Amino acid sequence: MKNYYGFDWNEIWNEINEANIKCGAFGECASIWESKEAARAFLNNSFANPERKQFIIDSLPLSPDSRVLDIGSGPGTIAVPVAGRVKHVTAVEPSHGMADVMEEYAAENGVSNLDIVRKRWEELDPSSDLQGPYDIVFASYSLGMQDLRDTIRMMEEVSSKWVYIFWISGMPSWEKGFLELWPQIHGKEFCLTPQADIIYNVLYSMGIYPNIRVAEIESNNHFPDLNSAVSKLSSVYNIETSEQEEILRNYLSTVLARDEKGFAVKESNMGTALWWEMGK
């Protein structure tokens, strides 16, 4: 029988994550999120598809006295509504577009107990950039950084109670399109995102034995017509030429489903929460 206990799961994460980043989906280094327009569209999509947001918020042990740290907050999808339930939230978000929209979203909802740290998680100094320790530290679909082990250690360093990681199990719906189209568009295979099983194994190798909850999360991305779908998804597929755009257009014409709003891409993914209590 093959022995898997000698595997360096952190290195496996690093290799898969680095290959996925190099594929360039969603633009190089996700640079499209520097745009406020793209960040606002991301936030609006969370309003139209609230299941993932609700899965995360319902999983967190929030109380009026909680101090919370949200790593990779995006446009404040979770940070802003959580701030309405707790004493304080610190949101770490390096993208200017995302951070600007989060600041606006907080102001629109009268939220004044939210601090935004505009730095990459792996580049900040916890002693000077954060106001720890925090009762709850979480990262929701935001573990794009290399060296997962160091990321987790730093999360534990600033937590006094709970650490939560939200990620994907199974191939996410959006990557099925990448697998099919990437060789046609870019002449190479698409490298998939590392999944929750690797996170679990990294944690296990660190002596952390997390609780796990998995839930099916459905969502729809709506477009008024085929042209708008092609326009919006061109940056996702890193489209640069008219030939590449035509490949995307032909693909979307087969997968878009007509509904009362025009057309939709229907998705169903397995959301996964891994969490543990400090000192347990």
Q: How many CB atoms lie within 10 A of CB 125?
A: 8
From the CA atom positions of the chain, what is the Rg in Å? 19
Write the DSSP symbol of residue 139.
E
- 9-25+33-171+188-218+270-277 placed in CATH 3.40.50.620: no
**What is the distance between the alpha carbons of residues 255 and 252, in angstroms, rounded to a whole number?**
5
Write the DSSP symbol of residue 261.
T
**What is the distance between the alpha carbons of residues 73 and 46, in angstroms, rounded to a whole number?**
13
**What is the distance between the alpha carbons of residues 91 and 97, in angstroms, rounded to a whole number?**
14
Query: Please, what is the angle between helix 36-48 and helix 96-108, to 10°?
Result: 50
Which H helix or E strand runs over 265?
strand 262-277
The residues facing 262 across adjacent strands are 259
Query: Which residue, 5, 44, 31, is CA-closest to 235?
Result: 31
pLDDT at 31: 59
C-alpha distances in angstroms, 221 versus 133, 144, 185, 272?
38, 23, 22, 21
* Cβ contact 116:91 at 8 Å: yes
β-pairing, 134-140 vs 67-71, is parallel
Torsion of CA 80, 85, 87, 92, to 10 degrees: -30
Write the DSSP symbol of residue 72.
S
**What is the distance between the alpha carbons of residues 22 and 88, in angstroms, rounded to a whole number?**
36
Dihedral sign computed on CA atoms, order 268, 173, 61, 203: positive
Per DSSP (E only), the strands in 141-179 are 159-169
pLDDT at 5: 65
**What is the distance between the alpha carbons of residues 262 and 210, in angstroms, rounded to a whole number?**
42
**pLDDT tens, per residue, the chain with 280 residues:** 344 567 899 999 999 999 988 887 765 444 567 789 889 988 998 998 899 999 999 999 999 999 999 999 999 999 999 999 999 999 999 999 999 999 999 999 999 999 999 999 999 999 999 998 999 999 999 988 888 999 999 999 999 999 999 999 988 888 888 999 999 999 999 999 999 999 999 999 999 999 999 999 988 888 899 999 999 888 889 899 999 999 999 999 988 888 777 787 888 899 999 999 998 7
Which H helix or E strand runs over 259?
strand 257-259
* Cβ contact 270:215 at 8 Å: yes
pTM beyond cutoff 0.75: yes
